[in-house]
Amino acid sequence: MNSDIKTILLTREQLAKRVKELAQKISEDYRNKDCVLVSVLKGSFIFYADLVREIDFHTTINFLRVSSYGSGATSSAKITFKYPLDSKVEGKHVLVIEDIIDSGNTYVFLKKYFKDQGALSVSMCALLDKPERREVDISAEYVGFEIPNEFVVGYGLDYDEKYRNLPYIGVLKPEIYKK
């Protein structure tokens, strides 16, 4: 698995330090608000688990799943729920936790969905941001790291459902997805 990685972009230590900083900021901003933290599966599962353990207010644990990428390495604006959120967001502040904001289409879709459900506010915390790839005019309110336009895996992020269990974030060798 490690031999499929071209370069390590973010080490375990860098990730842990930044997750702690993000959690501190989120804790300050949301401490006195009724906030629902929502993990977008599957990519954010490790980030979410690390983040919530650094969050200093009462929170419930919530998941949803959307499909946008399929198994390939290119985006598509067609987004549907594969697993909807099972808790109510009406009258609450929603913070969407994502592995990466890329085209921005997922965020646009979720923002509209939660607003329609009566959320007081909808914001996003994305561990990674690839601003070069944006197709819509939207940005995450909290970003861990801005990264260049390269396909990355690890720490939850996959290529074809693999590499999610790598403890760091790395750039996949292009020959892997050009096969």
Task: Tell me if 39 contacts ligand IMP by CB under 6 A.
Answer: no
Piece of 45-53, 55-63, 85-93, 148-156 that binds ligand IMP (CB under 6 A): 148-156
- Pairing, β 121-129 against β 5-10: unpaired
Task: Tell me if 121 contacts ligand IMP by CB under 6 A.
Answer: no
Enumerate binding residues for Mg ion (CB under 5 A): 43, 69, 158
Question: Closest separation between CB of residue 15 and ligand IMP, Å?
Answer: 15
Q: Scan residues 88-107 and list those touching ligand IMP (CB under 6 A).
A: 98-106
Cα separation of the two ends of the chain? 16
Task: Give the integer Cα–Cα distance in Å for 20 and 122.
Answer: 22
| Residue 64 backbone phi and psi in degrees, to 5 | -145, 165
Q: By the 8 A CB rule, do 71 and 55 touch? A: no
Residue 177 binds which of Mg ion, ligand IMP, none (CB < 5-8 A, kind-dependent): none
**Residue whose C-alpha is closest to residue 33's, from 127, 109, 144, 123:** 123
The residues binding ligand IMP (CB under 6 A) are 43, 68-69, 75, 98-106, 151-153, 157
